[in-house]
């Protein structure tokens, strides 16, 4: 069976353009997804409630380490 000989410049004309095109298509898809999704608006009261729940959970988990004199 004959050996397969490849031109050494094939990586410059085939592989590198495929990598570059794939990279830029990924970037375009990322920004297209950002543009198509709507901006999420958060109500101030809802944000305050969620932060209060997070603070209460942290206090409940770590309250045993707080001295009673404080």
User: What does the alpha-carbon distance between residue 59 and residue 44 come to, in Å, rounded to a whole number?
Assistant: 22
pLDDT of residue 60: 93
User: What does the alpha-carbon distance between residue 59 and residue 53 come to, in Å, rounded to a whole number?
Assistant: 10
For the chain, the distance separating the N- and C-terminal CA atoms, rounded to the nearest angstrom, is 85
Check whether 18 has a pLDDT greater than 90.
yes
CA atoms 58, 59, 63, 68: torsion sign:
positive
Percent of the chain with pLDDT over 90: 59
- The full set of domain ranges for the chain reads 10-35+42-65
DSSP state for residue 68 in the 8-state scheme: T
Check whether 3 has a pLDDT greater than 80.
no
């Amino acid at each position: 069976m004959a050996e397969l000989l490849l031109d050494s410049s094939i990586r410059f004309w085939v592989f590198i353009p495929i990598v570059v095109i794939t990279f830029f298509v990924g970037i375009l898809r990322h920004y297209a997804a950002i543009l198509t999704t709507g901006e999420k608006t958060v109500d101030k009261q809802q944000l305050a409630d969620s932060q209060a729940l997070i603070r209460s959970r942290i206090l409940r988990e770590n309250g045993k380490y707080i001295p009673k004199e404080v």
